């Protein structure tokens, strides 16, 4: 079966008639716990996964950037570095190439033209951060081609966030690009989204990370994601703090009645989710899957009731998985919400039973079975060898 690596290399040769000079990758991610806390300057606990985006790249001797999307029937984009770089309404995938390049230029990085071929295996609209994976891979390619050695991984993450906010129009937080940039094999990262401090937390031996795609597609820009962010900002202004990160649960409860009921629920989710995420990192480091599972269950309930971002098919997947897992781990929705994926942390011995339970009892609203992947925590963005071996 073709891989993103082989697909990108073949597409580059087919489209541009030469071999690439560099091959890079950036992973997608799954968030174990800590949802909608990142743009509130809070804590998240994601891991990079062994699905991502590969870019084959070579420099040009002019100021033109040409891009072929190998997974989209060799769809092509072309733009000039010396002309205004604007979104293309007819091809939204190009936002995640043009945006990072535009913001590299805006921050004074010297770039030359390039040919790029892109391929990936992160399901789009699944909540596994296909957009951040693509942006980080593009940034990694230009970093290598332009010898931008001072472009640190955390800086690339900030550029990707800026591009998605301002160019693609989604008010995402820093988590997705940061874990794609900084992932550590075999570990989750407890990320402080204010300071960008990232503390590796080892995944327990014998634990599996299962990702189950509900086949309910989601689109963050067109969904209520941006509205949720605005509601959180409203709550922070009411309490006179920079972000909800600065508010403790007791401080909130003392004055919660002053808030609009909907805004109150949104803020309560973020505050309690921050506490759960820090506790989850401790549980994971101690190998305590029972406590981790309880925290994941509480997180899902909070997303369902207070933040209102789950949907019935996702709730059903969580219920089916939890029946198999019991108190040996947990399951919850992961990602921005309104569809997408469920993540389960469970003993490897229960994976076959969990797969079977989902296969027998779940169908999406359109009648599709769930898509199940058992993933491994992987390293962040980096170069790949051009030759196998």
* Residue of 38, 41, 176, 306 marked catalytic: 176
C-alpha 159/C-alpha 344 separation (Å) is 31
- Rounded to whole angstroms, what are the CA distances from 115 to 12, 23, 41, 132, 145? 8, 12, 37, 20, 10
| Three-state secondary-structure class, residue 281 | helix
Known catalytic residue at 176: yes
DSSP assignment, residue 204?
P
Residues 6+ away with beta carbon under 8 Å from 345: 32, 207, 208, 209, 210, 289, 292, 293, 296, 329, 330, 331
Closest Cα to residue 295, out of 31, 29, 33?
33
C-beta of residue 116 within 8 angstroms of C-beta of residue 57: yes
For 148: left if phi > 0, alpha if psi spans -120 to 50, otherwise beta; the answer is beta
Cα–Cα distance for residue pair 207/328, rounded to 1 Å: 10
Instruction: Give the separation between CA 66 and CA 372, rounded to whole angstroms.
Output: 35
Residue 325 and residue 314: Cα distance in Å, rounded?
Answer: 16
Which H helix or E strand runs over 66? strand 64-69
Number of residues assigned to the chain:
389
What residues are labeled active site? 176
């Amino acid at each position: 079966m073709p891989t993103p690596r082989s697909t990108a290399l073949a597409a580059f040769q087919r489209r541009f008639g030469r071999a690439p000079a560099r091959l890079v990758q950036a992973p997608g991610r799954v968030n174990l716990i800590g949802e909608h806390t990142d743009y509130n300057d809070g804590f998240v606990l994601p891991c990079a996964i062994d699905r991502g985006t590969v870019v084959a790249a070579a420099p040009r001797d002019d100021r033109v950037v040409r891009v072929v999307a190998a997974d989209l029937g060799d769809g092509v984009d072309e733009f000039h570095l010396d002309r205004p770089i604007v979104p293309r309404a007819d091809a939204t995938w190009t936002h995640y190439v043009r945006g990072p390049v535009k913001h590299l230029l805006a921050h004074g990085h010297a770039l030359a033209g390039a040919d790029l071929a892109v391929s990936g295996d992160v399901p789009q609209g699944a909540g596994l951060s296909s957009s951040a994976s693509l942006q980080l891979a593009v940034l990694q390619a230009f970093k290598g081609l332009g010898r931008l050695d001072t472009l640190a991984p955390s800086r690339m993450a900030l550029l990707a966030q800026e591009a998605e906010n301002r160019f693609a129009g989604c008010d995402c937080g820093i988590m997705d690009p940061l874990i794609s940039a900084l992932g550590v094999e075999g570990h989750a990262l407890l990320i402080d989204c204010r300071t960008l401090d990232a503390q590796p937390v080892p995944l327990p031996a014998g634990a599996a990370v299962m990702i189950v795609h509900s086949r309910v597609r989601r689109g963050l820009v067109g969904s209520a994601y941006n509205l949720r962010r605005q509601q959180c900002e409203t709550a922070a202004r009411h309490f006179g703090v920079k972000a909800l990160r600065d508010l403790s649960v007791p401080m909130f409860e003392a004055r919660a009645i002053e808030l609009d009921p909907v805004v109150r629920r949104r803020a309560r989710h973020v505050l309690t989710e921050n506490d759960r995420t820090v506790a989850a990192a401790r549980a994971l480091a101690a190998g305590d899957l029972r406590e981790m599972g309880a925290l994941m269950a509480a997180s899902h309930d909070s997303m369902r009731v207070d933040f209102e971002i789950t949907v019935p098919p996702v709730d059903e997947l969580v219920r089916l998985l939890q029946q198999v897992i019991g108190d040996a781990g947990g399951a919850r929705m992961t990602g921005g919400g309104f569809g997408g994926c469920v993540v389960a942390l469970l003993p490897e011995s229960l994976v076959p039973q969990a797969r079977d339970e989902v296969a027998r009892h779940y169908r999406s609203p359109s009648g599709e079975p769930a898509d199940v992947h058992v993933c491994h925590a992987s390293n962040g963005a980096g170069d790949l060898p051009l030759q196998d071996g």
